[in-house]
DNA sequence: ATTTTCAGCGTACACTTGTACGCACAAAGT
DNA sequence: ACTTTGTGCGTACAAGTGTACGCTGAAAAT
């Protein structure tokens, strides 16, 4: 019944992480968390925090990693669904919407810290988003676009999707469908716009 | 030589506002400001703060208003330049770039607080952005698009421009031109995409 | 069986924070 | 000339912060 030491340690480590995530909200960004409050909710003494993390920043980086993991799982899911013959645009958006419902706090972290105050977190978030963009760029390039155009498209699309995601976090359930529709429409604009300009260019 | 009372009051009020703005940076969002530090820099006693603002939130709203003013001046400038025969896309982007260089801190406020922790600030920022979107929607609608499509285009464009703006804040001078070019390209995608789809739709 | 390791605790300290209260003193109002 | 008004100041306090230090007790290593 008793746990081994490493099991025990991992358990309270998770308790800290979970406490931190649960305290994130629209009203509290990571920078607003306090070590004491996190440890209080995790059920340990404030000073015990240091047995697991050097400081709050290190915890923050761990959280961002966690988000990155979630994001990459989404991406894999999207790619799978796409290879089975779905539209890239629609599946991507739908899956993105899904997570904002499922675990809004993890998602919020990404939003807050992208323009947040801690440099390490900002760059970490940027890296995750960049991962997204690069992945999409590769795909677009494989369809026949040049690198520059592909990147522009990918970046624009990610910006649109994230923008929609931010709207979703604040929206009521009744507005959700509408936001989703609009995001899809916007992505279509970009895709067909790039297509049209591509055709026009190759005609010359 | 001595100032009238209202002049004096306005002067220290500005000192507070300026101190607050100057303390905003990539490393410190508004929520991270402390009343004491602001007053310290403004050169007044902490408690004197209350002679001008009910609390920090009220100061925050004042700052957002200040940003809104700046934004609207930009918009007017863009409209003017556009009526003299410039491209909407290019002039808008250029002017937007201009301000991120001129007064990055004011602009940063918009970014941080859009996904910030204080609800009042968030809604205030949203209102300013919405103003932008509506203005653009009207224009797009006047070209012959229906309301829904016009709004989708406008929102997408604003998202792109703001995204570029955020990139600019972190970018070195050497990358600036590239970011600007890309943003313009992305806006073009949206515009021609909407156009192409519009044509296709009306043919049916 | 003995020793080592180390997660977790409690105490303690030095800070910073917001703000309540009352006084001073110059400008505005009479 | 006298009174009112109100900005600004200094003091004071309670609450919250991060973290240094030394101890405990059980698991792991010997």
**All domains in chain A, ordered by first residue:** 55-203 (1.10.357.10)
Strand C at less than 7 A from CB of A19: no
Binning pLDDT at 50, 70 and 90, where does residue A78 land? confident
What is the pLDDT, as a whole number, of residue B156? Answer: 98
| Structure confidence at residue B2 as a pLDDT band (50, 70, 90) | low
The separation, in Å, between residue B2 CA and nucleotide D5 C1' comes to 18
Specify the higher pLDDT residue, A1 or B156. Answer: B156
Q: CA-CA distance, A143 to A123, in Å (whole number)?
A: 30
Q: How far is the CA of B173 from the C1' of D30 (A)?
A: 62
For residue A204, is pLDDT > 90?
Answer: no
> Distance, angstroms, CA B168 to C1' D25?
56
Q: Which chain B residues are closer than 8 Å to A197 by Cβ?
A: 188-189, 192
**pLDDT higher than 80, residue B47:** yes
Instruction: Please state, for a pLDDT cut of 90, what percent of chain B lies above it.
Output: 69
| pLDDT for the residue B3 | 72
What is the spatial distance between Cα A20 and Cα A41, in angstroms, rounded to a whole number? Answer: 9
Q: Is the ipTM of this complex over 0.85?
A: yes
pLDDT for the residue numbered A87: 87
Q: Using CA atoms, how far apart are residues A45 and B2, in angstroms rounded to an integer?
A: 58
Q: Which residue ranges have CB below 7 A from strand D? A: A 2, 4-6, 34-37, 46-47, 49-50, 55-56; B 5, 8-9, 11-12, 43-48, 51-52
Query: If you measure CA to CA, which chain A residue comes closest to B151?
Result: A182
Nearest nt to the CA of A39 via C1' is C8
| Nucleotides of strand C lying closer than 7 angstroms to a protein CB | 6-12, 16-22, 26-28
Q: Is the pLDDT of residue A1 over 70?
A: no
Cα A125 to Cα A131: distance, rounded to the nearest angstrom? 10
Confidence of residue B107 (pLDDT cuts 50, 70, 90): confident
* Structure confidence at residue B82 (pLDDT): 83
- Are the C-beta atoms of B110 and B67 separated by less than 8 Å? yes
For B55-102, write each residue's pLDDT tens digit: 999 999 999 998 888 888 888 888 888 888 888 888 888 888 888 888
Partner residue facing B197 (CB), from A111, A152, A192: A192
Put simply, the answer to whether B156 touches A112 (Cβ < 8 Å) is no
Chain A residues touching B189 at Cβ < 8 A: 152-153, 156, 189-190, 193-194, 197
A3 pLDDT band (50/70/90 cuts)? confident
Average pLDDT over residues B128-141: 93
Gap between the Cα atoms of A118 and A115, Å rounded: 9
Structural tokens at position B58: 């009220």
CA distances from A202 to A80, A144, A145, A199, B196 (A): 32, 12, 11, 5, 17
* Minimum CA–CA partner of B148 in chain A: A182
Structure token digits, residue A37: 């409050």
Of A121, A119, A96, A101, the closest CA to residue A20 belongs to A121
Min Cα separation B4/chain A (Å): 40
Res. B51: pLDDT tops 70: yes
Three-state SS letters, chain A? CCCCHHHHHHHHHHHHHHHHHHHCCCCCCHHHCCHHHHHHHHCCCHHHHHHCCCCHHHHHHHHHHHHHHHHHHHHHHHHHHHHCCCCHHHHHHHHHHHHHHHCHHHHHHHHHHHCCCCHHHHHHHHHHHHHHHHHHHHHHHHCCCCHHHHHHHHHHHHHHHHHHHHHHHHCCHHHHHHHHHHHHHHHHHHHHHHHHHHHHHHHC
Q: What is the mean pLDDT of residues A78-96?
A: 85
Average pLDDT along chain A: 92
Q: How confident is the model at residue A2 (pLDDT cuts 50, 70, 90)?
A: low
Q: Which residues of A touch B118 (CB under 8 A)?
A: 27
Token pair listed for B198: 């519009």
Interchain pair A152, B185: CB under 8 A? yes
pLDDT at B78: 84
DSSP label of B86:
-
CA of B181: which chain A residue's CA is closest? A152
B92: left (phi over 0), alpha (psi -120 to 50) or beta: alpha
- Closest alpha carbon to B124 in B58, B26, B79: B58
Above 90 in pLDDT, residue A57? yes
- Neighboring chain B residues of A155 at a CB cutoff of 8 Å: 163, 182, 186
CA distance B179 to B97: 10
The answer, yes or no, to whether residue B21 has pLDDT greater than 70, is yes
Alpha helices in chain B (DSSP H): 5-23, 35-42, 56-83, 88-102, 104-114, 119-142, 147-170, 173-203
Average pLDDT, chain B: 92
Average pLDDT rounded to a whole number, residues B2-13: 90
For B55, which DSSP code? S
Nearest CA in chain A to B109: A115
Q: How far apart are CA B9 and CA B24, in angstroms?
A: 23
Q: Is the pLDDT of residue B25 over 70?
A: yes
A89-144 confidence digits (pLDDT tens): 888 888 888 888 888 887 889 888 998 889 999 999 999 999 989 999 999 999 99
Q: How far apart are CA A190 and CA B191, in angstroms?
A: 8
Residue A138: HSE in the Cβ half-sphere, 13 Å Cα cutoff: 6
A-B contacts (CB, under 8 Å)? 115
Question: Per the CB < 8 Å rule, is B190 touching A189?
Answer: yes
Using the CB atoms, write b or e for B89-123: b if 16+ within 10 Å.
Answer: bbbbbbebbebbeeebbbbbbbbbbbbbbbeebbe
Over residues B182-195, the pLDDT tens digits come to 999 999 999 999 99
Of B148, B166, B190, the CB nearest to A190: B190
């Amino acid at each position: 019944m008793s746990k081994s030491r490493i099991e025990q340690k991992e358990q309270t480590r998770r308790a800290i992480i979970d406490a931190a995530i649960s305290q994130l909200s629209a009203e509290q960004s990571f920078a607003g968390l306090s070590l004491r409050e996190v440890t209080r909710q995790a059920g340990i003494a404030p000073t015990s925090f240091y047995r697991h993390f050097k400081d709050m920043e290190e915890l923050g980086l761990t959280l961002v990693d966690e988000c990155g993991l979630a994001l990459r799982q989404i991406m894999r899911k999207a790619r799978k669904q796409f290879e089975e013959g779905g539209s890239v645009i629609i599946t991507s958006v739908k899956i993105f919407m899904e997570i904002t419902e499922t675990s809004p706090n993890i998602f919020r972290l990404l939003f807050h810290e992208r323009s947040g105050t801690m440099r390490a977190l900002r760059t970490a978030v940027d890296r995750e988003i960049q991962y997204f963009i690069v992945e999409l760029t590769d795909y677009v390039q494989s369809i026949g676009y040049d690198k520059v155009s592909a990147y522009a498209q990918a970046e624009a699309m990610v910006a649109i999707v994230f923008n929609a995601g931010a709207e979703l976090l604040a929206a009521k359930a009744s507005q959700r469908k509408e936001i989703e529709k609009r995001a899809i429409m916007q992505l279509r604009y970009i895709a067909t716009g790039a297509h049209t300009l591509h055709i026009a260019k190759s005609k010359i």
